[in-house]
Chains A and B, each alone.
Chain A
Amino acid sequence: VITLEDRLRSYFRDEVAELDAADTLPGVLTAGRRGRRRARALLAGAIATAAAVALVVGSAQLSTRSHPRPALQASASRPIRVLTRTDLEGWGPPSGIAAVPGGVWLASWNEGGLLRIDAATGRITARVPVGQPMEGPYSIAYGAGSLWVTDFRTGDLLRLNPANGRLIAKAHVDGLYVTVGGGYVWVTTFGHVNGRYWNRLVKIDPGTDRVLGDVLVPGNYGPGGMKVAYTPQAVWLHIDGSPFAQAVDPAKMHLIAHVSTGAAWRLAAVGSRVWVLTNTWRLVWIDRPTSKVSGSVQLAEPSSGLAPNLLTDIATGPGGTLWVGGQALYLVSEASLRVRTISGFGAVDDVSVLGSTLWVQADDGYVYQVALHPPGTSAAVPDVVMMPVAAAKRLLTRGGYAVKVVREPGLEPLGVIIYENPAAGSRALPGARITLVVSAGPVGGTSSP
C-alpha cells in the first residue's frame, strides 16, 4: 500500500525535480558590479587606540555588576551618572533605541517587537509586537510627540503613543529608516518604482500622516538601506555601502549636494551639522550641503582584517558632546575632538539622548539610564564647614547637589559639620552627592561606632 504521505513525498519530489533556478538573483543586483565590503565599522578599537595614544583625558569607571544600581558620584572628571539599570532578561538583541520623555523604547528585529523602560523606575512598562520574530521593526525614532517605527514585515510606518505604545496611525510606505526633523517625518524606502529598484526619501506630515513628497535617490543599493539624518538645510542620506552622502532640500525635495565621505555606518545630526560614522575609522562632519566635507578626523588606521569590535551607534548630547557606542562608551568633544573612554558598560550596541539623559543599551543585556553633565558646567562646592546641618543642607540642595549626612565621633561639639566631601572649593557637577560629616561628639559618647 502506498500511503498518502508517501504519495505526497514523491509528488513533491517529482514536481520540482526538473526546475532550473538559473536566474533568481534579484533585479536589485546589477551584473558585474563589484561587491563592496560592508565592514560594519571597526572603529571602536580604533578609538580606543587613539585614546590610548594621545586623546584620552580620563575615564569614568562604572561598577556595573556589583551593585544593582551603580550609583556613581558625579565629579568633575566623571561626566556621567548612572540612574537606572534594567535587565532585559534575554529579550532582544535590540536593533535600535529611542529616548522619549519619561523613558526609552527599544526595538528588536529578532523579537519582532518593542519594549518601553520607564525612566523613574527603570522598569519595563510596555511591550508592543511589531512584525514578527526575525522580521520585526527596522528602525525607531522619537519626534513630533510620537514614536515612529518602521515595520519591516508589512512595510508600514507606525506612529505610536510614546507613553504606552498604543497605535495612533500608520502609513504604508515600505519604510526602512525613519527620523523626525523640521516638523516632518522622513522615511527612506527601498522598492520597485517604474520598473527598477530605487532608494527613496519620503516626507510625511505628522499632523495628517499624509505623504507630502518623495525623491528617488540614484546610486548604488546597499543591503542595509538608506540612512537618514535631518538638518534644517538638508536631509542627509547615506546609502549603505556607497562612498558618499547625498543631500536633499527639505522644502523643494530635490537633490542639492553629493559629498564624498567614505562608506558610512551611521549618521547623526545636531543643529545644522551632520556626523558620519564611516567604515574606515573616520568621523566626518558636514556643516553645509556643498560638495565638500567640513572636517574629519581619522581616529586610527584601519586594520587589515575584520575586527569584531565595531563602532555601533552615535548620538549627540548636550554641550557639544557626541556619544559613540562600540567596545565601550566613547565621549567625543565636538570642539576638541578629544575622546574619552567610559568603561564599565562593556560593549555598547545603541545609544540615544534626549535632553540631558543618555540611554545606553549594552551588550551585557542591560539598559542603562545615564544623567549627562556637559563638561565645563561644574562649579565650586560651597563651604559649609561649621554651619548648622539644616542650613548647610538647604544651601547645597538649592545648588543642585544631593546631600548625605554621616556622623563621626570627634572633638568638635555635637552636631557641627566637621568637613565635607568633596571638599569646599573643589569642582563638582550638578547632582553630585556631597557628604557632610557631622560630629557625634567625643569617642565614647552617644554615637554608635
Chain B
Amino acid sequence: VGSEVQFVEFVHARSAALLRLAVLLTGDVQDGEDLLQTALVKAYRSWWRLRSPELAERYVRRILVTSVISWRRRGSRREQATDRLPDCQVAGLEVEVADRVVMRQALRALSPGQRAVLVLRFFDDLSEQQTADLLGCSVGTVKSQTSRGLAALRRRVGDLTDDERVGREK
C-alpha cells in the first residue's frame, strides 16, 4: 500500500463490502454512504501509514465502527431517521417486508455500540475476540453488549417459529 493508485484499487475492490457494513451500522443507505465517504477520506489522509491491504481494510472498518458510535453518541440529526418507513412495499412480500421493518426498527432502538457488535458478530461473522480487536474493547464488553443487544431485540421481536411469524402477520 502507499500510492494513490493502490488507494483507488483498494476502494474499487473493497467498497461494496465496506458499504454493506456501513449501511448496516447506520441502518440507512444514505447515512451509510456518508459514513463510508468519511471513512475513506480519513483512510486516504493516512494512506501512507497503512502498509498492507489487510491493514488498510482493518483500518477502514475500524473507522466505520468507531465513527458510527461517536456519531450517534453526539445525538445528531440522524436519530430522526428512526421512524422512516421502508420504500419497498411490494404486494406479496408484505410478510417478509413487515418482518424486516420490525427488525430494522428494533435495531435502530439499540445503542450504536450494541448494534455495531451485532453487525460484526452476525453479519461479518467475526469472533468475539476479532470484534473486540476491531472495537478496541475487551472480549467481556463484546459479550455483554451482544447479550444486551440480543435481549433488547428479543423484547421487541421475540424468537419466532414459522407458525408464529405467519400468525403475527394476520
Interface residues of chain A, those whose CB is within 8 Å of chain B, are 1-5, 7-9, 11-16, 19, 21, 24-29, 33, 35-38, 40, 95, 109, 132-135, 138, 152-153, 176, 190, 197, 221-225, 240-241
Interface residues of chain B, those whose CB is within 8 Å of chain A, are 2-8, 11-12, 15-16, 18-20, 23-24, 29, 33, 36-37, 40-42, 44-49, 55, 58-59, 62-63, 66, 99-100, 103-104, 118-119, 122-123, 136, 150, 153-154, 157-162, 165
A49: min CB distance to chain B, Å: 23
Complexed CA–CA distance, A202 and B12 (Å):
33
Question: What residues of B have a CB within 8 angstroms of the CB of A5 in the complex?
Answer: 122, 150
Contact call A223/B118, Cβ cutoff below 8 A: no
Question: What residues of B have a CB within 8 angstroms of the CB of A19 in the complex?
Answer: 16, 19-20, 23, 29
Complexed CA–CA distance, A176 and B29 (Å):
30
Contacts A3-B159, A25-B11, A223-B2 aside, 19 further interface pairs with beta carbons under 8 A come to A2-B160, A4-B158, A5-B150, A7-B157, A7-B160, A11-B100, A12-B122, A16-B24, A19-B20, A19-B23, A21-B15, A29-B44, A35-B4, A37-B5, A40-B2, A95-B49, A109-B46, A135-B46, A224-B47
Known: A24-B11, A40-B2. A197 touches B41 (CB 8 A): yes
Question: What residues of A have a CB within 8 angstroms of the CB of B153 in the complex?
Answer: 4, 8
Among the listed A11, A12, A29, A225, which residue makes an inter-chain contact with B4, where contact means beta carbons less than 8 Å apart?
A: A29
Complexed CA–CA distance, A152 and B63 (Å):
11
Known: A2-B160, A223-B48. A38 touches B40 (CB 8 A): no
Complexed CA–CA distance, A190 and B161 (Å):
53
Among the listed A13, A21, A109, A223, which residue makes an inter-chain contact with B44, where contact means beta carbons less than 8 Å apart?
A: A223
Complexed CA–CA distance, A8 and B125 (Å):
12
B38: min CB distance to chain A, Å: 9
Q: B-side binding surface: helix, strand, loop or mixed? A: helix
Question: What residues of A have a CB within 8 angstroms of the CB of B19 in the complex?
Answer: 16, 19, 21, 24
B154: min CB distance to chain A, Å: 6
Known: A134-B58, A223-B48. A24 touches B33 (CB 8 A): yes
Q: Which residue of A lies closest to B23 (CB)?
A: A16
Among the listed B16, B45, B66, B118, which residue makes an inter-chain contact with A132, where contact means beta carbons less than 8 Å apart?
A: B66
Contact call B100/A15, Cβ cutoff below 8 A: yes
Complexed CA–CA distance, A36 and B119 (Å):
37
Question: What residues of A have a CB within 8 angstroms of the CB of B103 in the complex?
Answer: 7-8, 11
A407: min CB distance to chain B, Å: 56
Among the listed A1, A4, A40, which residue makes an inter-chain contact with B150, where contact means beta carbons less than 8 Å apart?
A: A4
Contact call B159/A2, Cβ cutoff below 8 A: yes
Q: Which residue of A lies closest to B153 (CB)?
A: A4
Question: What residues of B have a CB within 8 angstroms of the CB of A15 in the complex?
Answer: 23-24, 100, 104
Contact call A24/B3, Cβ cutoff below 8 A: no
Among the listed B18, B20, B41, which residue makes an inter-chain contact with A28, where contact means beta carbons less than 8 Å apart?
A: B41
Q: Which residue of B lies closest to A306 (CB)?
A: B2
Q: Which residue of B lies closest to A11 (CB)?
A: B103
B64: min CB distance to chain A, Å: 12
12 A–B contact pairs at CB < 8 A?
Answer: A12-B122, A15-B100, A16-B19, A19-B19, A19-B20, A24-B36, A25-B15, A28-B44, A95-B49, A135-B46, A223-B47, A224-B48
